[in-house]
Amino acid sequence: MRAIGYMKSLPIEDRQSLEDIELPDPTATDLSPNDLLIEIAAVSVNPVDTKVRVRTEPDNGHKVLGWDASGTVKATGSDVTLFKPGDDVFYAGDIGRPGTNSELHIVDERIVGRKPSNLSHRDAAALPLTSITAWELLFDGMGLREGEGDGETLLIVGGAGGVGSILIQIAKALTGLTVVATASRDDTRDWCTKMGADHIISHRENLKAQLDALGLQPRYVASLTATDQHFDALIDLIQPRGTIALIDDPAELDALKLKTKALTLHFEIDVYSAHVQHAGHDRPAPSARPNLRACRPGEDHHHREFGRRNDQRPEPS
Amino acid sequence: MRAIGYMKSLPIEDRQSLEDIELPDPTATDLSPNDLLIEIAAVSVNPVDTKVRVRTEPDNGHKVLGWDASGTVKATGSDVTLFKPGDDVFYAGDIGRPGTNSELHIVDERIVGRKPSNLSHRDAAALPLTSITAWELLFDGMGLREGEGDGETLLIVGGAGGVGSILIQIAKALTGLTVVATASRDDTRDWCTKMGADHIISHRENLKAQLDALGLQPRYVASLTATDQHFDALIDLIQPRGTIALIDDPAELDALKLKTKALTLHFEIDVYSAHVQHAGHDRPAPSARPNLRACRPGEDHHHREFGRRNDQRPEPS
């Protein structure tokens, strides 16, 4: 089968930093009991692909990249109960296994969802990683529950990025939160408005002053980019007892700054594959993978709300 | 009236570090609209009293210490709706106002609760600050809701201290959590057992090894003492996506350590007085002071569960 990846971790300017690779087709005999063999129809590209390429040296001659995928179940492992051959599925993959940029791919059924019937494979492949991140950040990390948040404000720093775009929509569709998104260019401001944000402010100007002008003091802050740069300002503008969640890579982050306002800080990453699944592919506790609920067959109603074409999304400013 | 405090911040070895002070009686004309004038019947001593004495130089000749109090309403401000003269009340005070170690005391009605009828003033005065801290740590900081927590474990480091003693009881009475408390001496171990802890382990031995032996991996950790010393071990032993809450004063705390497990960190302190009330005594948003719910007249059923005599409590080890 054809795949896209690399033989050696190289700067992106190097022509061999990304290569077409020809690999043997995986077959049903390669499946662990909970695995699905997927015929991939579409993938999408995420920032994590860049990080994996830069940080991970292949250990068996090559590394296939890719995280998000949409496709069709071709074969199932002996213990699979959730899917059957022919089912259309979508999922974010697993850092511990080969990436999704290949014609065939093996994935554990427990991190797979049924593709919404009203989305093409191409549209569906754009959703999993950003949606899981936004969902877990809001409902697990920040502790919100669906239907809550009336009278409270969520500030999203970097509203026009992948996670921000989904987070605006989830927050508006499933909670009562007032959503303030930051953007600094006309097209990203327009995009955040289209996603449903109630207010747009600029992360290049004083955040607190702009919020004061709106008469809003956020209880929740999603810091999706440049947390390094904004951390002190976020602590200054947030309500006492508020929650800050971040997804990026600050060089340092002093937790003592949380104390004077009794704040909560949540670090959102997809830890399932790293910490749960590869402990012998044990079935995860519901608490360790709450988003599985949203991915179960017949429960794709949340995903249906958030479909859009990846190519409509501008770059975050 | 008589009061206990100091004229100058001095080492505790100095005989003038704590003094009896004679002050004019406050009267109804000294009350702000939401204030109560309280005839104090009992107070208790908290670690915060020491911190205030060491850190705060009196700005008007003297400083009255004290945080917790139980007493009887003697007069009410013009806008008071929750209490009337003769009501027995208990409360944790307000860092921005004189302390409770005085015969008469003024407090905002919105941080006052009705004294449980089955507790003496002496018993009631032992409860407010530790109970509010434990309550807010568990239900606000950690995001638990009453009745939740089945199948999950809460580790309490320093279970025999004031907050730990209340936290064990609240967690056992109002959630389904399995509670593991740490203690290192026979009397503190016995105390934690009496409070209702399911398991006791020693914080002087390897925490993770002891939890492994119990077959438990906490989703929640309350770090009530020596967070400096235990932080790395707590991150190692907690479940991915778990929550650590602390109440002490580590010299430093690196939030980047939360990332690999997508953890949440909550810093619990009583921020109401510092951040909410003294902004012109505005009525606090429910979100900023959720524990008010538990302190409203007629809703004292939680407090009733947790009464005990302060002098039965051993020093934390």
Q: What is the ipTM of this complex?
A: 0.79
Tens digits of residue pLDDT in B122-139: 999 999 999 999 999 999
Q: Is the confidence at residue B20, as pLDDT, over 80?
A: yes
Q: Is the confidence at residue A124, as pLDDT, over 60?
A: yes
| d(C-alpha B271, C-alpha A89), whole Å | 47
CB contact under 8 A, B262 and A266: yes
More confident residue, B78 or B302: B78
pLDDT given for residue B59 in this prediction: 83
Q: Is the confidence at residue A309, as pLDDT, over 50?
A: no
CB contact under 8 A, A287 and B241: yes
| d(C-alpha B69, C-alpha B121), whole Å | 8
User: Euclidean distance between the first and final Cα of chain A, in Å?
Assistant: 37
Closest residue on chain A to B275 (Cα): A240
Tens digits of residue pLDDT in A2-23: 999 999 999 999 999 999 999 9
pLDDT given for residue A55 in this prediction: 87
CB contact under 8 A, A287 and B263: no
Contacts of B263 in chain A (CB under 8 A): 266-267
Closest residue on chain A to B287 (Cα): A241
pLDDT-based confidence at residue B103 (cuts at 50, 70, 90): very high
H or E element, residue B199 = strand B199-201
More confident residue, B292 or B119: B119
DSSP label of A309: -
Residues 6+ apart with CB under 8 A from A14: none
pLDDT given for residue B265 in this prediction: 97
Q: Is the confidence at residue A281, as pLDDT, over 60?
A: no
Query: What's the average model confidence in pLDDT over A268-278?
Result: 55
More confident residue, A300 or A105: A105
pLDDT-based confidence at residue B149 (cuts at 50, 70, 90): very high
pLDDT-based confidence at residue A93 (cuts at 50, 70, 90): confident
CB contact under 8 A, B240 and A270: no
Q: Is the confidence at residue B39, as pLDDT, over 70?
A: yes
Across chain A, what does the average pLDDT equal? 86
Does the domain at A2-126 match CATH 3.90.180.10? Answer given as yes
Q: Is the confidence at residue A158, as pLDDT, over 80?
A: yes
* Residue pairs between chains A and B whose CB atoms are closer than 8 Å: 111
**What whole-number percentage of chain B has pLDDT above 90?**
77
Tens digits of residue pLDDT in B164-206: 999 999 999 999 999 999 999 999 999 999 999 999 999 999 9
pLDDT-based confidence at residue A51 (cuts at 50, 70, 90): confident
Closest residue on chain A to B267 (Cα): A262
pLDDT given for residue B271 in this prediction: 61
Across chain B, what does the average pLDDT equal? 86
Query: What's the average model confidence in pLDDT over A128-157?
Result: 95
Task: Provide the Cα torsion A187, A189, A195, A198; round to 10°.
Answer: -160
Query: What's the average model confidence in pLDDT over A27-47?
Result: 95
Domain boundaries, chain A: 2-126, 130-267
Q: Is the confidence at residue B298, as pLDDT, over 80?
A: no
Which fold, B130-267?
Rossmann fold (3.40.50)
Contacts of B253 in chain A (CB under 8 A): 254-256
Q: Is the confidence at residue A293, as pLDDT, over 90?
A: no
| d(C-alpha B90, C-alpha B105), whole Å | 12
Closest residue on chain A to B258 (Cα): A267
Question: Which residue matches tokens 């939740």?
Answer: B148
Contacts of B111 in chain A (CB under 8 A): none
Q: Is the confidence at residue A307, as pLDDT, over 70?
A: no
Which of B146, B221, B264 is best to mutate for the A interface (most A CBs within 10 A)? B264
Q: Is the confidence at residue A232, as pLDDT, over 80?
A: yes
Tell which residue, A269, A272, A248, A288, has the closest CA to residue A97.
A272
Closest residue on chain B to A136 (Cα): B241
Pair A62, A7: CB distance under 8 Å: yes
Q: Is the confidence at residue A278, as pLDDT, over 60?
A: no
CB contact under 8 A, B262 and A287: no
pLDDT-based confidence at residue A272 (cuts at 50, 70, 90): low
Check CB contact of A212 with chain B, cutoff 8 Å. no
Tell which residue, B255, B183, B278, B181, has the closest CA to residue B221.
B181
Neighbour count for residue B252 (Cβ, 10 Å): 9
User: Measured on CA atoms in the order A4, A6, A10, A14, is the torsion positive or negative?
Assistant: negative
Query: What's the average model confidence in pLDDT over B13-24?
Result: 94
What does the angle CA B133 – CA A247 – CA A231 come to, to the nearest 5 degrees?
A: 65
pLDDT given for residue A48 in this prediction: 86
Tens digits of residue pLDDT in B217-255: 999 999 999 999 999 999 999 999 999 999 998 999 999
pLDDT given for residue A286 in this prediction: 32
**How far apart, in Å, are the Cα atoms of B13 and each of A77, A118, B16, B49, B184?**
73, 76, 9, 16, 29
Q: Is the confidence at residue A216, as pLDDT, over 60?
A: yes
Tens digits of residue pLDDT in A179-196: 999 999 999 999 999 999
What does the angle CA A224 – CA A227 – CA A232 come to, to the nearest 5 degrees?
A: 135
Tokens of A289: 């993978």
List phi, psi (to 5°) of B232. -60, -40
Q: How far is B142 from chain A (nearest CA, A)?
A: 8
Q: Is the confidence at residue A282, as pLDDT, over 50?
A: no
Check CB contact of B176 with chain A, cutoff 8 Å. no
pTM: 0.82
Half-sphere exposure of A34 (CA within 13 A, CB side): 12
**What whole-number percentage of chain A has pLDDT above 90?**
77
